Structures are given as C-alpha cells and as structure tokens.
Amino acid sequence: MNRSQKLMAVTSATAASTALLAQNASAALSAEIGTGLTAISVDALALVDLVWPVVVAITAAFVAFKIFKRGVAKV
C-alpha cells in the first residue's frame, strides 16, 4: 500500500466509526428528548387546566362590569 492508500483507509475508518458513534448518540438522545417533551406536554396540559377557571372568571367580570356600566348610564 502506498501512502495515499493508507491515508484513504485511515480516513474511511475514522469516518465510519464517527458515523456509528453519532448514530448511537442520536438514538440515545431521541429517547431522552421524547421523555422530556412528554413531561413538558403533561405540565402544559395541567397548567391549562389551572388557567381555565381564571379565564372564565375574568371574562365573567368584564361582562358583569359592562352590564353594570349600561345600567348606571340609564339612571
């Protein structure tokens, strides 16, 4: 083997091993990301459940205030 063939063999082996390592790392990372996103989704849905009563109360307050203003304006 001449020098350029040896260099090509080393470069190919390095590229192949790097690709395999990256593939394994990405597979492990995907499971962690999926778990994290699931946790965030569960927390977001719990937050929405907590916020709805507040939104309804604020909307009812605005409607009541508007009705009160119309009633006071007629007097």
Which pLDDT does position 26 carry in this prediction? 56
- And the tokens for 7? 């260099």
Q: Taking Cα atoms as reference points, which of 54, 36, 53 lies closest to residue 44?
A: 36
Which pLDDT does position 43 carry in this prediction? 94
Supply the pTM of this predicted model: 0.47
Q: How far apart are CA 32 and CA 25, in angstroms?
A: 11
- And the tokens for 3? 């020098």
Q: Taking Cα atoms as reference points, which of 37, 22, 16, 51 lies closest to residue 8?
A: 16
**17-69 tens-digit pLDDT:** 777 676 665 556 677 888 888 999 999 999 999 999 999 999 999 999 999 99
